[in-house]
Chains A and B, each alone.
Chain A
């Protein structure tokens, strides 16, 4: 497999703040990639630099084997979906979608054919004579998507495309995004701060922290084998406790474990530690139990529909944990 997009030593500063500093990042052709990070991590900066709306201070951007670092947006072979759609309000839906092709100077018949084809795929053909404000948010986002992909770009960029939609539409549209990407076999680069969205949709997850890439991998890989403390805490729930709480003496800074990687047992066993149940959150298919273990708060997930009693003394059996040293995960302990 080849990397369609490569970022090499790309850096961008705003004054003294380093917004982005990526040593090397490759995006594989035909995959759905999600850039995930907290606000200020450099997600949008990265997207805008790839789109050509911002230019890096240094470094190289290679798209489809060509150096596009200093090319303006319209000379890059990309499509971009904006967070708030950015449809032209006075264009009909048809004109909005057709615009990238009319700019290229294609023949009217060809434009019409391609627009009609895409609106059928997207299920918005009944709206083509309307204006954007007459559509719902989800419909507008589909139009924005159609406009971005109609010129069949090498790379589809999506800037928080779902964050302006309500929860139900968001979940609907995110599975749609993925299936559309598969259907058209395009490469997508999707920026979001929502980790459940990222986990659900990504083939490949790029976790940004402080402008740098912390880890790249499949959602499963990143969830199960995080490389840094940041990644392990940012993706999914994690209990971070001092090593002493679980009587571990291997010189680690602390250890972390997922709520589902520990079990509550009634009797003391070898390797268990004592804890007290503080309170219990019943969530249907699972129960989150909040406990105190030698003055540390931890959460444990129970999926067996057991009943727990606040204030009760129990024992905790650790099954899998990450050992942290200097901000890195140095070892994954299987117990």
Chain B
């Protein structure tokens, strides 16, 4: 073994150990659980294929599976159809403020997004119902709208970053050659950024197939089981103690997501165009040449931008308007749009009642951020620069990256239960990296793939071992890359819903001597205010409060976002 490999291994070791315990074991654990059943006393006993047989007799399984497939197909299709024009608009308008406003939905917690749409669409006091007279709660499309609203900005950002990464010379060459507008988009830009497009498609498929938050939020207000998918159904089973069957459902999801993950990895690491074409002109180019070579007119640009902005901002604006209405006005028909007597009373209760939840969320997010950045970025560096772990490790990280977090729910619950950490912040801090760490590693991996090699070579020659070189020279030089990892880490933790639902059951007790309870702000919004009670005002105010960290971070990142996505672009 080359000495450098040993040191690269040291940088990667913490991440590998974490993955072995908290991701590989749960994947195996699910299989074991699927052959077990919980007795009345809570003990697990072997039960053979009983749980698998349940699928056949379960009256809901067909519906649940159908819903899952429905989300899997509709959401990504709509996402892609809307994301490409949106990305082109973002590039055309070149407006930072527009970019930030458009991105907002993808950065806010999904549970907040779902709650916002719920307030807008509900058939009792929602403005959309009042004006359009259509009860979205009766249709499964409501979930599709929420999914699209949450995932479209991210899909567009990937494509936008791709568009911005087209080298200046290529842009200039097409200018000299006279390519403009939609023709240039079709002929030059889209083929150039094909990997970005495929990646956003695959991520969108994964996102939609395992939809959880909006279903959770709308339970109790929609016809029972009407919009439930596998992810939510397995949670329901877990919650009612039918752990073995939940494990079976999770195994089905694991199989589905493995296929998607395979597609994802293929897209990322595929190298198109390594063989000569079969003919002079590729089929795509013959097709693209039919588009008119006209510049995009600015009228179209502005109208389309306005439509997108209204779609993205309407729910948030409505939630804000709700949050400052005095209690009685919230339940008025017709809905009052702009209150004449704004009040902050809901904010007071959202903060006062929500404080224990806020504390848990912040402490957990910071804890997770520290863990993931300090074990994730060195591993990413060793993997990118020294190819440590080779393809196997990278593919494993990407695999975990694409698995929905619901898959880890049961075994992690068992582990935390065994450690006596249920309902503590530790449970969350230890488990969140399951879905945060792969993101951090992948983002940093891309960053370090483009990092100048001479820096750590110089550090080595100057007498630093690789660990020293990493923490003293390379890490401080990688702030651009690490900042986005930090941003993501915080975002994901802040918005997490499934793990806190599974691992906690009460809010932080505010007793520092004997701290207990760790329910997060996402639970405060999604569960304690939502369908369990109807505190619409407090709900709206809490939703607005939950926007604060993402808004601050987006603002801080405003000048870096695009460059980081360019650096961290899709390079296999």
Contact = CB atoms under 8 A, between A and B. Distances in A.
A103 interface: yes
A131 B273 contact: yes
Nearest to B281: A95
Given A129-B278, A129-B280, A130-B276, A82 B172 contact: yes
Given A86-B170, A88-B170, A80 B176 contact: yes
Interface string B155-171: 00000000000010110
A74 B178 contact: yes
B173 interface: yes
Contact of B285 (A89, A91, A103): A91
Nearest to B175: A73
A309 to B, nearest CB: 42
A84 B179 contact: no
19 contacts: A51-B176, A80-B172, A80-B173, A80-B176, A82-B173, A83-B169, A84-B169, A86-B167, A86-B169, A89-B273, A90-B192, A92-B281, A95-B285, A99-B179, A100-B177, A129-B276, A129-B280, A133-B273, A133-B274
Interface string A128-150: 11110110000000000001000
A32 interface: no
Contact of B175 (A53, A98, A99, A147): A53
Interface string A67-86: 00000111100111011111
B271 to A, nearest CB: 9
Contacts of B273: 89-90, 131, 133
Contacts of A87: 173
Contacts of B179: 74, 99, 103
B99 interface: no
A128 B173 CA distance: 19
A134 B276 contact: yes
A16 interface: no
Contacts of B175: 52-53, 72-74
The 3 closest A-B pairs by CB, nearest first: A74-B178, A86-B169, A94-B280
Contacts, number: 98
Nearest to B284: A90
A16 B281 CA distance: 48
Contacts of B41: none
Given A53-B175, A75-B178, A83-B169, 4 more contacts: A74-B180, A80-B172, A131-B273, A131-B274
A102 interface: yes
Contacts of B282: 90-92, 95
Q: How large is the interface on B (under 10, 10 to 19, 20 to 34, 35 or more residues)?
A: 20 to 34
B307 interface: no
B190 to A, nearest CB: 9
B289 interface: yes
B272 to A, nearest CB: 8
B195 to A, nearest CB: 11
Given A88-B170, A104-B178, A94 B192 contact: no
Interface string A87-120: 1111110110011101110000000100100000
A82 B171 CA distance: 12
Contacts of B178: 73-75, 100, 103-104
A141 B169 CA distance: 14
A90 B170 contact: no
A88 B192 contact: yes
A102 B179 CA distance: 10
B176 A90 contact: no
B289 A102 contact: yes
Among A83, A98, A131, chain B packs the most CB atoms within 10 A around the CB of: A131
A131 B277 contact: yes
A31 to B, nearest CB: 22
Given A74-B178, A90-B273, A82 B169 contact: yes
Contacts of A100: 177-178
B293 interface: yes
Contacts of B515: none
A104 B293 CA distance: 9
Contacts of A98: 280-281
Given A82-B172, A88-B192, A74 B276 contact: no
A99 B282 CA distance: 13
Contacts of B279: 129
A82 B167 CA distance: 12
A89 B166 CA distance: 11
Nearest to B179: A103
A125 to B, nearest CB: 11
A74 B173 contact: no
B159 to A, nearest CB: 16
B188 interface: yes
B334 interface: no
Interface string B277-314: 11111100100010001000000000000000000000
Contacts of B172: 51, 53, 73, 80, 82, 86
Given A86-B169, A102-B289, A92 B280 contact: yes
A86 B276 contact: no
A128 B280 contact: yes
Among A78, A90, A104, chain B packs the most CB atoms within 10 A around the CB of: A90
A95 B280 contact: yes
Given A94-B280, A102-B289, A104-B178, A89 B173 contact: no
Contacts of A103: 177-179, 183, 293
A83 B272 CA distance: 25
A278 B495 CA distance: 76
A94 B281 CA distance: 7
B191 interface: yes
